[in-house]
Amino acid sequence: MNARSSKNYNIDMSTGSLPKKMLLFALPLIFSSILQLLFNAADLIVVGRCVGDEALAAVGSTGALINLLTNLFLGLSVGANVLVARYTGANREKDVEETVHTAILVSIVSGALLAAVGFTYARPLLALMDTPADVIGGAAHYMRIYFLGMPIMMLYNFGSAILRAIGDTRRPLAYLAIAGAVNVGLNLCFVLIFGMGVEGVAYATVISQLISAILVVNNLAHQDNACRFHFSKLRIHAKKLAGIARIGLPAGLQGCIFSISNVLIQSSINSFGKLAVSGNSAGVNIEGFIYVSMNAWHHTTLSFVGQNYGAGRFDRIRKSLRWGLLFVFLFGFGLDAIALLLKPHLIGIYTKDPEAIAYGCARIGVICLMYFTCGIMDVIVGALRGIGFSLLPTLTSLLGVCGFRITWIYTYFRSHRSLKVLYASYPISWCITIVLHGIVYLAWLYNNRAKCAANATEPVTPASSD
């Protein structure tokens, strides 16, 4: 790979038109996220229509628990992204190199730990969530196989975070397109030809993730810049690990906080029976396509704010957030409207049962009325992490999301027990958390108003803002 071809894929985020470059960055990321989500959608559609609602519930009921176990370590990839973006903006190549190799080794170790925990404790954890008896066997089998592939999943996510930090979102899209096609083909082969059921879709997911991870690592090994991966340089650099952890652990804890509340909500949904779980699983998967389209603007804002912070372009930090908020609103609101209009047809792709379809429509009818507020919340968090705040967004999320939802479940939901009441906790918690995150950002903006107005150009040494 020559220097010219590599640069063609990377984006300099500290100069040029922000809306144009943010779109160039975000659109491939949106398509990449959708392809990744199609892995799960293919799993659900194949088992739901070819095996039955019990298998659909088995695969779908694992999502909240998988996210709970993985989010802490995926948060570390956010820390790697911020550090690489900052050092890239400040032209500190040695620091970029050390961060890359530290992050790759951390991904492998964290993946191995997750594999051990997920494989060993899948069934006991599902039992704690009150997973229905006719579902728990298949769900545990799916989780064990899925977690055996966790080291390669973590390697892909950390590698992609590094590529995002230097502005490359196009090649990961191509890699996921290849892996996605393999996943769909293997799903059909394992389930329809070999009759493997839920274990078949689990194996297909792991194999497809292996392909995408190999392609990303190969990309890093052929970079012509400081992000180039060398196996011989793979080691933990203590200062870089501390920097990744300082930003990434609070980000991961925030993800876990969200997942804890979602696990409690999933447990409440499980109490309504198999068809409620089946319809909810289909609804969650459809919402996932909206979420990843909005979450791409979180990663875009995070990377653009991080690079401009490292380059000392404080004026572009404000503008990056403004454009991120505008884009996430437009994408989120538009997709919400489509989901609301087509909800019975979309749920019908996953299941044939009229009752399960009704349950899925009930979820979408509540969540998608204001799902764009979740995107707004995440974009503000991306800006805060890009400028160095990581603990404060976690604390505000603890209060606004997890705290509120848990309180809602044990108070209002207990006395007004219905799925619509349960789902209402989502949009209310998003709006509360937007206000809290907004206060933190406005406080930073006030304290740095002189730098923002003067368009500072001196590089800023990454330091804790917490």
pLDDT at 353 over 90: no
Greatest alpha-carbon span in the chain: 66
Instruction: Give me 36's structure tokens.
Output: 């990744």
Instruction: Give me 261's structure tokens.
Output: 């509340």
> Over the stretch 312-331, which tens digit does the pLDDT of each residue have?
888 888 899 999 999 999 99
Instruction: Name the nearest CA neighbour of 285 among 43, 27, 32.
Output: 43
Q: Which amino acid type is present at position 97?
A: E
Helix, strand and coil content of the chain, in percent to the nearest 5, comes to 85, 0, 15
pLDDT number for residue 260: 75
> Over the stretch 56-92, which tens digit does the pLDDT of each residue have?
777 777 777 787 788 888 889 988 988 998 898 888 9
Q: What is the pLDDT confidence band of residue 461, given thresholds at 50, 70 and 90? A: very low
Report phi then psi at 311, rounded to 5.
-85, -5
Q: What is the pLDDT confidence band of residue 272, given thresholds at 50, 70 and 90? A: confident
Residue 187 CA, chain-centre distance (Å), reads: 23
Rounded to whole angstroms, how far apart are CA atoms 448 and 452?
6
Report domain extents, the chain. Answer: 17-454
pLDDT number for residue 466: 40
Residue 4 near residue 256, CB atoms below 8 Å: no
In the 8-state DSSP scheme, what is residue 458? S
> Over the stretch 14-59, which tens digit does the pLDDT of each residue have?
788 899 999 998 998 888 777 777 766 666 777 777 777 677 777 7
